[in-house]
Amino acid sequence: MKKVKSFVIGVLVLFLALLMVKPMVWAGEEYKVTLEEWAKNKKFFDDPRPFLKELHPKKILPPDVYAKLTYDVEAMKNLWAKVVGFRAPEVVGKIAPEIKPGHYTYKDKEKYPGFKELMTPEYYKRFNPGAPPFAGNFSEIRIVPTRQYYYALPVAEATQKNEGSSKLDDNGILKQGTYVAGFPFPRPSGKLMANQLIYNYLYRYFNYESTCYALSHSEGFSKSLRRDRHTEGDNYSLRLQGRVTMEPYGWFDERAKKKGEDKSYLVTYTAPRDYVGNVVSWSIYLDPDKFNSLLFYVSALRRVRIMTATDLQQPGGTGDIIFADPEMYGQQLSTKIYPYKCEVISEREYLVPIVTDGSEYFSSEGAEMRNFQFERRPVYVVKMTQLDKNFVYSFRILYIDKETFLIHAIENYDQKGRLYRSAYTLYSFVDEMGMPISSILNLIDHLDMHSTLTLMFYTPAPWIGRKHTELQGLFAKGK
Amino acid sequence: MKKRFLILFFVVGLTIVLAASSAIAERLVVFGRPLDLYFYITQNLSYSLLDKDKYDTVKGFQGALNNLLVEAGYGATDQLKFYVSAGLTTDFMYKIREDGRAWNEKLFDQSSKNLYMDHKYWQILKEAHATWTPGNFFFRVGKQIVKWGETDGFRLMDQINPSDSRRGFADVEFETSVIPIWLFRAEYYLPQKPSWLQSLGFEFVFNPNADFIPNQGPRTGNDEGGIWAPNALARGPFPFGEARVGSTPMDIKEPGSFNSDGYEYAFRAKGVIKDAVITLNYFYGRDNDPVLLTAPIPPKITVASDGRLILHPFLEGKYPRLHFVGGTFAKDITPLRVDFLGGISPVIRLETFYAFNSTFVNNKNAYERYDEFRWAVGVDWGVRIPILNPTNSFSISPQFYQRTIIDYPEINELKGLKKNNYTTTLAISTKYFHQKLTPSVFWMYDITNKANMYRLQAIYDLNDSWQFVLGALWLHGEKFGKGFQLFDNKDYLFFKVRYKWG
C-alpha cells in the first residue's frame, strides 16, 4: 500500500509538472473557438447578443490565414453574378409585392394575405407565437431587402473554369471523373436540371469549404415543448476533393484521389453525460454505389466499433433526422441504392429566415425564434420521388436557393404521403470570405411530434488533417 | 425499520435536490480551460422469481444496489487532458434485511463485509489519468481502462483490465464491472502511409503492477458471495447425499506491488484497410483469474440452516502466466445488404488468440500446462420489420465462441474444461417512441455445459437525465455443478432508476 501511495504521488507530481510546462507542450496551430468561448458569448436561450461580431473570423484566425481566405468583395460579387447569370435582388419582388421590407407580426397575416403565398406552407404555419407542438415558431419578423450572395473568389473561378466538364449520364447520375472543382452545374437547365441541382448541393462550398471546426448545441422538445434531449459537441470536418480555398488544392492527397473520397468528419460530444467520450468518424465517398465508412468509439466499451453505414433510415441525433441526411440531405443519386426521380416543380421566390450578426435567439418560453430577419430568395422547388418502396420516404420536397445552391428547407413525406420530417437551415454569411455558414438548424418530426433546435458555429480550419478525422482522432478524443 | 430506510431516503432525496438545481449544471472554467463535471446515481432493486425456499437465495427482494459515480475531465490544453472518476457502490439490502430471519440463517448477512459497501481505494477511485496527444503520439498514464477485442458478453482478447462480477450477470454497469488499473499506454500513428492503408497505429501498454487486482468473481458460500454465491454442491456420503461447498479460505500467491513478476506488456498494431478495422495483438502478463488447488488439509465443516453440511476446503493457488498472440477483424459487408430486409448490411467481427503454456488444474488436483486457441465471431445485422417497428430497425447480434485446449490430456480431465468448449449468444434490440424505449432480449447458451442465460429488458429514457430499466434474468443448466446450473436458483426481476447529470 505504501508503494502504491508513492506511485500515486509520483503520478500526481507528473501531472503537475505537465501542467507547468503546458506552454512548452507540443502544440499544433489549432486556432478555433472553444465551446466555453462560444457559451460565454452566446447562451442558447434568451440571449440577443450579436455574438457573430465578437467571434468574427478576423478575431479568431491568425492574420496570415485570415488574409488568405478573404477576397475583394466587389470582384466576388461580379464574378458570381457572371457565373450564375443573375443577382438575387433583380429576380425577386414579384410575389406579394405589397409586402415590403419592414417589421411584421403574426397578426399581419390577416392584413397581408400575400404572406401565405410568399412563405413555404410550413413557415407560414409557424408564423405564430411559440406554442406546442413544435419549437421554432416566430411571432414577429423583420423583412430586409434581398441581397446578393456569392462565393469565395477561388470557388467562383473554379466553377467558371470547369463549367461544362461535369457530365450526367442518361439516368442523371454524375459520371465519375468528370467533376473537377467548383459547383458542377452553375446554370442548371434541361430535363436533368433537378439532378444538377442536387449535385450542386452535394458538392457545396459552404462552411469554409467543409474544412472547418464546428461547435453545436441542440435542444430537443416533446410535443408539449418540454425539453427532453440536449446534446453539445464539436466536430472536425475535412474536404478531400475539389479544394480551392485551402491547400492542398484539388485532392487532399493521393489516397483521396484513388479512393474517390469526398469528405471525412469526426464528431465528439460533451453532453449529455451518456454521450460524453463517444466519438464518430465518418468517411464519405463520391461513388454513389459505394457506402460510406462509419467508425464509432464507444465510451461505454472503450473500444472502436465499426458500424454499418447502410442503415440510412435509422434516426440519429435527437431522433428528428435520419442517417441519410447529415446537413439536411446527404444521399448520393444512384440507380442502385434508393434511386430517385428528380424534377423541378417550381422556380419562384420565397421569404426565408436568415442569420445576420448572431443577435437572433430562441426564447425559453415557447421555444420561439426571435430577432430573425427574413429575406425574399429566388428558389428552385425540387421534388425527389423515391422509387424504392422500402425507403422510409416516398418523396421529398427541397427548397434550393438559386443563387447559392443551398437548401433552405426540406420536407420528407412517408410512404403514406404524410409529412414525416422536415428540416430548415438558416444561413449567416461572411462577406469578405464569400462564405455562407449554416448557423441554425430546425428539425421537426411531424408524426412523433418532436422537434429540435440547433445552434452551430464554424471556424475555418486549414490545420485539420486526417489525423483529426480518422482512427487516431477516435482514440485521441474518446474517453 | 425506520433506520433501514433512512439511507435510501437520503439518497433519493439528494437526487431530487440535485435534479432540481440548475446552479450546478454549468460547465466550469478553470484557468481559462474547461472543467467538465458529470455524475450519475442509480438505484436498483432485484426481486427473486423463485417461489420455493432455497438455501442459496431469499424470496422477495434480494438486492438494492446503489451506484454513485462522479467524473471530472479537465482539458488543460488541446493536447493535455486529465480525467478522474470516483464511485461508491452500496447494496442497501444488507441494511434493509439486517434483522431478517432467513437472511441471517442463510448467512447472507456475513457477506456484508464484502458486498455491503465497496470500500477499497481502487473500488472508490475508478480512473485517474493524464492524456497527452502531441502530433501523432498518444500517451496516457494513470489508472485507466484498455479494452481489446470485438466480442460482447465474454472476454477473449480483453485481458488487460480485471472485471468485477461479484454481483451477477444481468444488470451490470460498465463503470462498476471493469476495474481500471495503473497502466502506462503509448501510441503512435503513422502520418505517411501507402494509399491502400487508411490508418495505422501502434499501441504499447505497460502494467508496472502498482497494485495487483485480479478478477472479482462470485465467491462460494453465502457468507462470502452473498446472494450471488453459486449453489455448489458436492455429492457423497453426506446427510441428504450432498454437502454444500461454502466459503473457502484461500492462499493465492500474488505478484508483489511493483515486482517484476507482475509486470505486463501488451502491444497492438491497429489499422484500417479497405474500410476494415484490423488489429494484431500481443500480450505477456498474468491471467486475472487464479488457478486453484485444494490444499492437503481437511476442510472445515459447518452446518447450514437446512441441515446440510457446508464444506470449507482450503484452497491455494496462483495467477499464472498468460502469453498470447492474436488479432481482430471487423468490416461492414455491404454486398450482403438485402432490400427486403431493409437494405442494411451486416458488420462481421472476428477475434482470436493463441496462448502459450497456459496453466490449468486437472481432476487430480495438479497443475498442467497446454497451449490453447480461442476464437469468436460475431455479426451485427440491422433488419427492418415495418409491421413490428415502422421507424427503427431491429439489431440482431449473434456470436459464437470456441476455446480449444491443444493436446488435451487423454487421462486426467481438466477442471471445468473440455478439449473444445463452445458458447453462443444472441442479442436483439430495437427502439420505439422516438428512440426513448429500447426493449431487448439477450440469450447466452453454454453449448458445452448445456446451460442457458436469458435476459429480457426494457430501457426507457424519459429525457437526458432520467432513465428507467425493467428486466428479468433466468439462468438454467442441465449438467450438475457446471456452467449456469450453479445459478439455477438466481432467477430474478430487476428495476433500476438512473439519474444522470452533466
pLDDT at A24: 39
> Quick one: cell of B368?
498442467
Q: Hey, of A30, A313, A393, which one would you mutate to test binding to chain B, going by the most B CBs within 10 A of its CB?
A: A313
Torsion of CA B229, B234, B238, B239, to 10 degrees: 40
The reply to whether A306 touches chain B by the CB within 8 Å rule is yes
Instruction: Walk along chain A (479 residues) and give the pLDDT tens digit of each residue.
Output: 555 556 556 656 655 555 554 443 334 578 999 988 999 999 999 999 999 999 999 999 999 999 999 999 999 999 999 999 999 999 999 999 999 999 999 999 999 999 999 999 999 999 999 999 999 999 999 999 999 999 999 999 999 999 999 999 999 999 999 999 999 999 999 999 999 999 999 999 999 999 999 999 999 999 999 999 999 999 999 999 999 999 999 999 999 999 999 999 999 998 888 899 999 999 999 999 999 999 999 998 999 999 999 999 989 888 899 989 988 999 999 999 999 999 999 999 999 999 999 999 999 999 999 999 999 999 999 999 999 998 999 999 999 999 999 999 999 999 999 999 999 999 999 999 999 999 999 999 999 999 999 999 999 999 999 999 999 999 999 99
Does residue B458 carry a pLDDT above 60? yes
From the CA of B401, how many Å to the nearest CA of chain A?
Answer: 19
User: What average pLDDT does the segment B25-43 reach?
Assistant: 84
CA distance B253 to B258: 15
Q: What gap in Å lies between CA B488 and CA B481, rounded to an integer?
A: 10
Q: What is the pLDDT of residue B340?
A: 84
For position B29, what pLDDT does the model report?
84
Scanning B65-133, the segments in alpha helix (DSSP H) are: 93-96, 101-105, 112-115, 121-124
Q: What is the SS3 string spanning B347-400?
A: EEEEEEEEEEEEEEEECCCCEEEEEEEEEEEEEEEEECCCCCCCCCCEEEEEEE
Q: What distance in Å separates the CA atoms of residue B167 and residue B90, rounded to the nearest whole number?
A: 11
Contact at 8 Å (CB) between A195 and B429? no
Residue A181 CA: distances (Å) to CA of A210, A239, A244, A432, B351? 14, 12, 7, 21, 43
**Cross-sheet strand order for the sheet of B233-235:** B233-235, B242-245, B309-312, B300-303
Look at strands B242-245 and B309-312 and give their pairing. Answer: parallel
Measure the CA–CA gap between A242 and A205, rounded to whole angstroms: 9
- CB-based contact A310 B33, cutoff 8 Å: no
Q: Does A17 touch chain B (CB under 8 A)?
A: no
Question: Which 363-402 residues of chain A touch chain B by CB within 8 A?
Answer: 388, 390, 392
Helices A73-84 & A153-162 angle (0-180, nearest 10): 30
Q: How many Cα neighbours within 13 Å face the side chain of B467? A: 24
Q: Rounded distance, CA A365 to CA A8, Å? A: 49
Number of independent structural domains in chain B: 1
Q: With H, G, I as helix, E, B as strand and everything else as coil, classify residue A241.
A: coil
Q: For residue A278, what are the contacts with CB-CB under 8 A and spacing of at least 6?
A: A268, A269, A296, A297, A298, A299, A478, A479
Least confident of A51-55, B29-33, B174-178: B174-178
Q: Which of B35, B340, B434, B469 to mutate: most A Cβ within 10 Å?
A: B434
User: pLDDT tens digit string along B279-302?
Assistant: 999 999 999 999 999 999 999 999
Mutate to test the interface with A, among B199, B345, B387, B459 (most CBs of A within 10 A): B199
Q: How far apart are CA A460 and CA A56, in angstroms?
A: 11
* Residue given cell 433519493 in the structure block: B12
Please give the C-alpha separations between residue A16 and each of A20, A23, A117, in angstroms, as whole numbers: 6, 13, 65
Record the pTM: 0.92
The kind and range of the H/E element at A349 are strand A340-354
* B36:A276 CB<8 A: yes
Tell which of A22, A217, A307, A314 to mutate to test the B interface (max B CBs under 10 Å): A314
CA distance B496 to B168: 15
Looking at the complex, report in whole angstroms how far the Cα of residue B480 sits from the nearest Cα belonging to chain A: 34
Cell output for B307: 441441515
CA Rg, chain A, in Å?
A: 23
Note whether B132 contacts A18, CB cutoff 8 Å.
Answer: yes
CA nearest to A466, candidates B197, B384, B437: B197
Share of chain B above pLDDT 70, in %: 94
The pLDDT value given to residue A27: 41
| A114 vs B: CB within 8 A | no
User: Which residues from B are below 8 Å from A11, CB to CB?
Assistant: 128, 130, 141-142, 182
CB pairs under 8 A between A and B: 201
Please give the average per-residue pLDDT across B432-457, as a whole number. Answer: 96
| Residue of A456, A448, A459, A401 lying closest to A422 (CA atoms) | A448
* C-alpha distances in Å from residue A258, one per residue of A21, A379, B13: 42, 36, 60
Q: Where are the beta strands (DSSP E) in B120-180?
A: 125-132, 137-144
Cell digits of residue B79: 493536447
A-chain residue closest to B33, CA distance:
A36
B111 phi and psi angles, rounded to 5 deg: -80, 0
Res. B219: pLDDT tops 70? yes
> What average pLDDT is seen over chain B?
91
Contacts of A472 in chain B (CB under 8 A): 136, 138, 189, 199, 201
pLDDT, one tens digit per residue, over B349-391 is: 999 999 999 999 999 999 999 999 999 999 999 999 999 998 8
Asked if pLDDT for residue B21 goes beyond 50, the answer is: no
Query: What CATH number has the domain bearing residue B164?
Result: 2.40.160.10
pLDDT at B313: 95
Is residue A18 within 8 angstroms of chain B, CB to CB?
Answer: yes
Q: Write the burial class of residue B314 (CB in 10 Å: 0-12 exposed, 13-18 middle, 19+ buried).
A: middle
Calpha distance A312→A186 (Å, rounded) = 29
The CATH classification of domain A35-477, taken from the options 3.30.1380.10, 2.30.130.10, 2.50.20.10, 2.60.120.280: 2.50.20.10
- How crowded is residue B293: how many other Cβ atoms within 10 Å of its Cβ? 17
- Beta-sheet pairing, A140-144 with A373-386: parallel
ipTM: 0.91
The boundaries of the domain holding residue B259 are 2-501
What is the separation, in whole angstroms, between the first and last Cα of chain A? 28
Report the pLDDT averaged over residues B148-173: 86
| Residue A361 confidence (pLDDT) | 96
Q: Is the separation of the CB atoms in B140 and B129 below 8 Å?
A: yes
Task: Please name the member of B73, B147, B330 whose beta carbon is closest to the beta carbon of A306.
Answer: B330
Q: Do residues A130 and A139 touch, judged by C-beta distance below 8 A?
A: yes
Looking at the predicted structure, is the pLDDT value of residue B4 above 60?
no
Q: Is A134 exposed, middle or buried (0-12, 13-18, 19+ CB in 10 A)?
A: buried
Residue B273's φ and ψ, nearest 5 degrees, are: -130, 125
**What's the CA gap between B489 and B48, in Å, rounded?**
9
- Predicted confidence at residue B6, as pLDDT, reads 47
Exposure string over B355-376, b if 16+ CB within 10 A, otherwise e = beebbbbbeeeeebebebbbbb
